[in-house]
């Protein structure tokens, strides 16, 4: 396993380097100038030039990129242009909320996706299979900004059982924090749970159709044992890979969901940074998301190899 990790590290570092260069270049192509935004519409050209000099925006782009990479390597992310405060403090404040939302959504994805997959593959009721198919289709077809509004209208306005938005820390009031977390986590999890459920359903059906499983069923082995001891483990390895990919989608979708439910995480910080052309905040956030996605994919490969004995490290 150690040799496998050492072989994967160069490619992971190469992905991070390429992503950092693309992020830096694309942000500079976005229309707008941070110095002009900070100076205001009535500022003189001299004032704008002074702000650009103070922020280092008048330096060559390669020099700005090298300075940014050097700051990342030393752990000094520097100050924010427009939002105010250190970038590391801003990211640290929102990271806990986004991590909390993503982990809760991931739990919903696993629970709902497993239920959809097992019931869709093994239920003998045509109505249950049809209901699962309709539910997963709707979860995939309806975008989060629509499903989020529908969840708020149903559970917060009509039924009045859950808050419409905001966040309470678990350290302050665990029961109240769970209520605030439920709707955004469910909204974020629904599309990924539908994908996982369909993928798991197909995997279980293929496993149950194998000759060894059918022979075991003919020999009188209980269907429940065949499912949990043979069919489900055989369908898990590719599902784990899909789950790792969906984790990256959850991180990306959290930006939109946080805006819908006023969740004070990295999504709101990214929105503020983009609106105010705050380059340090946005580029550090985007690179952080890429780094998390790379780590998740690496862990996914390790779990896949652990589940599938046919895979060898060498």
Q: How much is the pLDDT for 61?
A: 82
Q: How much is the pLDDT for 107?
A: 93
pLDDT of 96 above 80: yes
CA atoms within 13 A of residue 43's CA, in its CB half-sphere:
16
Q: How much is the pLDDT for 260?
A: 87
Per-residue model confidence as pLDDT tens digits over 246-257? 887 787 788 788
pLDDT of 287 above 70: yes
How far, in Å, CA of 189 to CA of 192, rounded?
A: 6
Cβ burial of 313 (10 Å; 0-12, 13-18, 19+) is exposed
What does the pLDDT average to over 154-173? 87
Q: Where are the alpha helices (DSSP H) in the chain?
A: 2-29, 34-39, 45-55, 61-74, 87-122, 126-141, 144-151, 174-208, 211-218, 223-226, 232-260, 266-275, 279-307
pTM summary value:
0.79
Cβ proximity of 34 and 273 under 8 Å: no
| Residue that wins the pLDDT comparison between 76 and 89 | 89
For CA atoms 171, 176, 179, 180, give the dihedral sign.
negative
């Amino acid at each position: 396993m150690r040799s496998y990790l050492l072989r994967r590290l160069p490619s992971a570092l190469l992905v991070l380097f390429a992503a950092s260069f693309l992020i830096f270049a694309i942000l500079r192509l976005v229309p707008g100038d941070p110095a002009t935004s900070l100076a205001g519409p009535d500022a003189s050209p001299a004032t704008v030039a002074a702000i650009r000099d103070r922020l280092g925006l008048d330096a060559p782009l390669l020099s700005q990129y090298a300075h940014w990479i050097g700051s990342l390597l030393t752990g000094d992310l520097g100050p924010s242009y427009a939002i105010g405060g250190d970038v590391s403090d801003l990211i640290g404040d929102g990271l806990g909320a986004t991590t909390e939302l993503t982990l809760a959504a991931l739990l919903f994805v696993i629970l709902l996706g497993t239920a959809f997959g097992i019931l869709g593959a093994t239920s003998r009721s045509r109505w249950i299979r049809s209901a699962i198919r309709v539910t997963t289709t709707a979860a995939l077809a309806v975008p989060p900004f629509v499903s989020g509004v529908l969840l708020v209208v149903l559970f917060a306005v009509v039924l009045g059982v859950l808050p419409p938005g905001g966040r309470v820390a678990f350290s302050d009031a665990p029961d109240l924090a769970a209520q605030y977390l439920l709707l955004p986590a469910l909204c974020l999890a629904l599309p990924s749970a539908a994908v996982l459920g369909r993928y798991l359903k197909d995997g279980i059906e293929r496993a149950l159709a194998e000759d060894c499983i059918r022979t075991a069923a003919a020999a009188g082995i209980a269907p429940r044992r065949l499912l949990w001891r043979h069919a489900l483990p055989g369908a898990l390895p590719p599902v784990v890979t899909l789950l790792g990919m969906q984790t990256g989608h959850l991180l990306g979708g959290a930006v939109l969901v946080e805006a819908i439910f006023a969740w004070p995480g990295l999504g709101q910080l990214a929105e503020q940074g983009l609106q105010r052309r705050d380059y340090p905040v946005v580029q550090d956030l985007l690179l952080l998301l890429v780094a998390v996605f790379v780590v998740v994919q690496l862990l996914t490969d390790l779990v896949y190899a652990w589940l599938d004995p046919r895979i060898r490290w060498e």
